[in-house]
Amino acid sequence: MQISTFQLQNYKSYRDSGELQFSSGFNVLVGQNNAGKSSLLESLSLNFIAKPHRSLITLPRTTSTVNPSSSAKAVLSLTGEELKDLLLSLEGPFFVPVPSEFRGHGVKNGHEALMRALSLSWLDLQTKLVTTPNNAATFTPDHFPSHGLYHTQEEGPGRVNFYVFNPNNDRTDFTCAQEVANDTSADFGLAAASYLRERIYSFKAQRFNLGVSQVGTNNVLKPDAGNLPEVLSVLQGSNPNLFAKFNEYVRQIFPTVYLASVRNIPDYKLEVIIWTENPASQRDDLAVPLAESGTGIGQVLAILYVVLTSRYSRTILIDEPNSFLHPAAARKLIEILKLDFSQHQYIVATHSPEIIKTTDPSTLFMVRMDGRESKLERLDSNDVKDQGRCLLEVGARLSDVFGSDEIVWVEGDTEEICFGLIVRDLLKRPLLGRAIVPVRNVGELEGKRHSARVIWDIYSQLTQSNALVPPAIAFVFDKEQRTEKEQADLIQRSNGKLKFLSRRMYENYLLVPQALQATLLTLPSFQNTALTAEEIQEWLERNGGTQAYLDKPIDRIDVTSKSWLENVHGAKILQDLFAEFSQNREEYRKTLHSVQLTEWLIQHNPSSLDELKTLLASILIS
């Protein structure tokens, strides 16, 4: 069984969701907080009360009246074999419409009529739920009789002839008792849809009171999971092998948990306890009640119980698993559900890129808030996979960009950190939804001049999509030794979004003797030395003009010279300076020491970073 299509109207932030198509496997809803993901999951449970949509469209004036009803249309799909099992489980009779061509022939064609449904590989039950604020709800088939499978002749308003069937005593077949005229609400499709509605489980991103329940013999978990201790107790006593399998999954997700078990407590109640000590110790006094454990454990126990004990496929709704589970535990849970319980349909709401990656969804919806309305856009999961591959090509991940409004792409990890410091401490403005994201395989930009063009092509492919990768507002790359023409060509190719530093690389902004002295004196090799800024300046003046660092060598340089600061190989000169002054005991580490130098300059010599400050301000303010 699965939800194939769904349409929600006049509920919370949804005026009309439009028809949504879901598939088997994992279906994922992504979007920012308060976009409407949780509201959609609530309605997909087909068990919600009316909360009418309120906006200027539905209430244009203060005197306008709101439609009090919320409604949903859903197509619940199942196989003919599933329908047969469901009908065999009924306690009373069920009614199958009499096709027009069988009218007047008695019951001899009854089984043939029934097999029209049971022989189908896939059957769609079209249903409608209408709810009102006083909790009144009507759940009916949206298409009579039996969802379009039968053409009948109506006896009167809303009345159809039906075959009356009962399951045999051995529950292996059916007996057709008689033909009667009845109201169309007697159609077996309504009974089937009502039972399927109960096969939808919803797990919300909140703490349930799952730890204690009354003693009982029920083995069906309630929709709110309130009888979890009861069903686990039944499983623990009646099927110890399956209970052991249940705990194997628990341990895979929570390595610190040895066992989840159930014990009796006063007042004829049961309590779930979590063993964090080896049960071989027999120290049940050290077991922790589930009610005192983390929120995620109770959720996982309930989810695992449902998927492990279900004799038929279900639809499982999971709201924000990343909010009640550590990322590693969430990934393990998803992997277990995908591998061992693929017969179920899963609809997951999340804002976690790791969950999206792990589920590898067959269907992916982006939920956005447009004014006061939630809007849904179906994304091509293949496009999302292509985006992931493109990101990997430049050393980035979906988690680096997902959830941001706009992206500033920079040369590497050092620029990501240091540009962020400059924005925060010199510009003194928040990024406000913008992210500074590095290109991690910086070697692609250092050795071959044409690589920047390749990188830009990859970024173009990513950012032209309207899916999960937000638009780029700028690409800030090192100038390297590109000519003015090469720079101009790339800037034109990027429609002006590509910006080059005026200096060869970011390290060129850090060649300030006082900053270098302060940073070197923090290293172990310099703890008992009296290194001065003058010594560093003299070294730079003596060595900085050599062929090792400049394409056009000069005898002696001025450390404040604009030409030298723009063209010297800053990274190489820092590597050699650190090695020589420490007698090869210290190594210049780009992401550590560049950050330390930047922090010193921000505090003691901020004007040395004015050029970068101006560049970043022009990007962020525009």
Q: What is the pLDDT of residues 93-114, one digit of tens each?
A: 999 988 888 887 889 899 999 9
**Stretch among 53-62, 282-291, 385-394, 540-549 having the lowest mean pLDDT:** 385-394
pLDDT above 90 coverage of the chain, percent: 51
Kind and range of the H or E run holding 143: none
Of residues 413 and 392, more confidently modeled: 413
Assign 442 a pLDDT band (cuts: 50, 70, 90). very low
Per residue in 327-343, is it b (16+ CB within 10 Å) or e — as a string? eebbbbbbebbeeebee
Question: For residues 516, 520, 521 and 522, what is the CA-based torsion angle, rounded to 10 degrees?
Answer: 120
Question: For residues 343, 347, 349 and 352, what is the CA-based torsion angle, rounded to 10 degrees?
Answer: 30
pLDDT of 92 reads 85
pLDDT of 443 reads 42
pLDDT above 70 coverage of the chain, percent: 88
Assign 445 a pLDDT band (cuts: 50, 70, 90). very low
> Count of CB atoms within 10 A of residue 88's CB?
14
Question: For residues 381, 347, 133 and 225, what is the CA-based torsion angle, rounded to 10 degrees?
Answer: -160
Contacts of residue 533, defined as CB under 8 A and 6 or more positions apart, other chains included, come to 513, 514, 516, 517
pLDDT of 498 over the 50 cut: yes
Kind and range of the H or E run holding 246: helix 240-253
Per residue in 213-249, is it b (16+ CB within 10 Å) or e — as a string? beeeeebebeebbbbbbbbbbbbbeeeeeebeebbeb
Q: What ranges do the domains of the chain cover?
A: 2-197, 208-309, 383-500, 507-605
Tokens of 361: 């969804």
Please state the rounded mean pLDDT for residues 590-604: 95
**Stretch among 36-45, 238-247, 469-478, 501-510 having the lowest mean pLDDT:** 469-478
Phi, psi of 198 (to 5 degrees): -75, -10
pLDDT of 606 reads 95
pLDDT of 448 reads 43
pLDDT of 507 reads 96
Cα 67 to Cα 69: distance, rounded to the nearest angstrom? 6
Cα 540 to Cα 127: distance, rounded to the nearest angstrom? 79
Please state the rounded mean pLDDT for residues 411-419: 90
In the three-class reduction of DSSP (H, G, I as helix; E, B as strand; rest coil), residue 299 is classed as helix
pLDDT of 449 reads 44
Sign (positive or negative) of CA dihedral 193, 216, 301, 304: negative
- Domain 383-500 falls under CATH 3.40.50: yes
pLDDT of 593 over the 90 cut: yes
Q: What is the pLDDT of residues 189-221, one digit of tens each?
A: 888 888 888 899 998 866 566 788 999 999 989
Tokens of 101: 């061509």
pLDDT of 353 over the 60 cut: yes
pLDDT of 458 reads 62
The single-letter DSSP state of residue 287 is: P
Cβ neighbourhood burial of 423 (10 Å; 0-12, 13-18, 19+): buried
Please state the rounded mean pLDDT for residues 396-410: 73
> Count of CB atoms within 10 A of residue 607's CB?
9
pLDDT of 73 over the 90 cut: yes
Assign 397 a pLDDT band (cuts: 50, 70, 90). low
Please state the rounded mean pLDDT for residues 236-241: 95
Q: What is the pLDDT of residues 452-487, one digit of tens each?
A: 566 666 666 665 555 567 777 888 988 888 888 888
